[in-house]
Structure 1
Amino acid sequence: MERQNIRKLMRSRRNELSENEQLEAAKKIKVNIFQHLKNADIRRLGIYLSNDSEIDTSLIIEELWHHNIAVYLPILHPFCSGYLLFQRYEKNSPMTINRYGILEPKLNCSQVCPVEDLDVLCTPLVAFDLQGNRLGMGGGFYDRTLAKYYREKRSKPEIIGLAHNCQQVDLLPIESWDVPLKTIVTPKKCYLW
């Protein structure tokens, strides 16, 4: 199946989840992510605000704040097209809607954290397979932003894909620019490679 067809199918699957199924998935993935991270020393964690029926990250964010872990959200890089920056997100952070209709913090350079200073970065995805391959929305923002960290085999940040169980496929068609993941967390389990 072609990548665009997989995206369409997976987005359809996500959109078919009921409000109750979304809430239960959010509760379970919160437990699984904190179980996975329980022995890690985490001060800064990058994550995204859910969009387009992605798994709801609001419970994870609330728990991070509860544990005094700084939360950083992606924003579209204002000067390097196709890349992301990660900016501190707090309950009262001024927000704006980017050109893709996604909520992000209003740019404040003093609140930006370099990717290498994040301890963990949770990424959205449209589909994943059991080899750790991730299929995003097609813009390549995360792949471009994270490519050098994979090439250089850096241990920080730990990059974790978050997904609904229904987003798993047998095998994804991959391209040379795709960045594989070592960890994907779903409501059902944590996959490690």
Structure 2
Amino acid sequence: MNPEPKSSMSEESEISNPPRRYFTRQRRQLTDSARRNMGQAASLHLTKLQQRLQKNARIGLYYDGFGELSTQPILEWCQRLGYFSYLPVVGSLGHANNGFEDKRLRFVPIYHSKLLNVPTRIHQLGMKQNHHRRLLWARELDVVICPLVAVDLNGNRMGMGGGFYDTTLSKVYRSGTKKPLKIGWCYDFQVVEQLARQPWDVPLDGLITPSGIRWF
């Protein structure tokens, strides 16, 4: 399929994104069994990501605490191949100069075989996170698996609205650095034709769904 022509900024500004609740409602309607089965189906495509990684790669993933596609298969894949896995931490840097919480994520190592067994605290925004003294920056990882609400055919990602991943990854993206690879992980119904893109948005390098893998 030929790639869609890139829209101008004026055209992009006219695009109206579907509401986040449209996708989150569909996610929450899935049974635990369906989520696990689709997570396993998506994990079959991780072998194509493996082709781009070196030995002992560092992989950042996340807790699937809001009905997202299960990320447990990613952790199991990492452990089978000897990759090091990490989870994001929000707020580890305290507050920025403007007094608001610094949105840059850092990442802590996972020492458990199941995400359910990782000791966590609940952040004020509702997500689970683990705390550890050894924290890595995103630039120290080889891959960051990014949560998303929706993604389009050009790799533009709609997040939860907090801006944590865009803030975390923007500096390395603007510099042209290829590391880390930014990979989306979601259900097929979260893929849409086109989303509006803002100047601060960081696009994905690839996307994995139960039906396959796509590179942008």
**Following TM superposition, by how much is the alpha carbon of 1:15 offset from its aligned partner in structure 2, in angstroms?**
1.5
Residue of structure 2 equivalent to 1:31: 44
4+ residue segments displaced more than 4 Å: none
1:63 aligns with 2:77: yes
1:163 aligns with 2:181: no
1:52 aligns with 2:66: yes
Alignment of 1:116-131 (within 5 A): 116-131=139-154
Tell me how many residue pairs correspond in the alignment: 190
Residue of structure 2 equivalent to 1:150: 173
Alignment of 1:1-193 (within 5 A): 2-3=16-17, 5-41=18-54, 42-78=56-92, 79-80=94-95, 81-91=102-112, 93-106=118-131, 108-109=132-133, 111-193=134-216
Letter in 2 for 1:170: E
* Matched-pair contact (CA < 8 Å) for 2:105–2:138: no
Percent identity between matched residues is 31
Name the SS of the counterpart of 2:66 in structure 1.
Answer: coil
1:101-152 alpha-carbon deviations (Å, 9 max, x no partner): 221112x23x212221111111110000101100000000000000011101
* Matched-pair contact (CA < 8 Å) for 1:46–1:121: yes
Unaligned ranges ≥5, structure 1: none
Unaligned ranges ≥5, structure 2: 1-14, 96-101
**Following TM superposition, by how much is the alpha carbon of 1:182 offset from its aligned partner in structure 2, in angstroms?**
1.7
**d(CA) in 2 for partners of 1:146, 1:160:** 12
Normalised by the size of structure 1, how large is the TM-score?
0.91
**Following TM superposition, by how much is the alpha carbon of 1:39 offset from its aligned partner in structure 2, in angstroms?**
5.0
Normalised by the size of structure 2, how large is the TM-score?
0.82
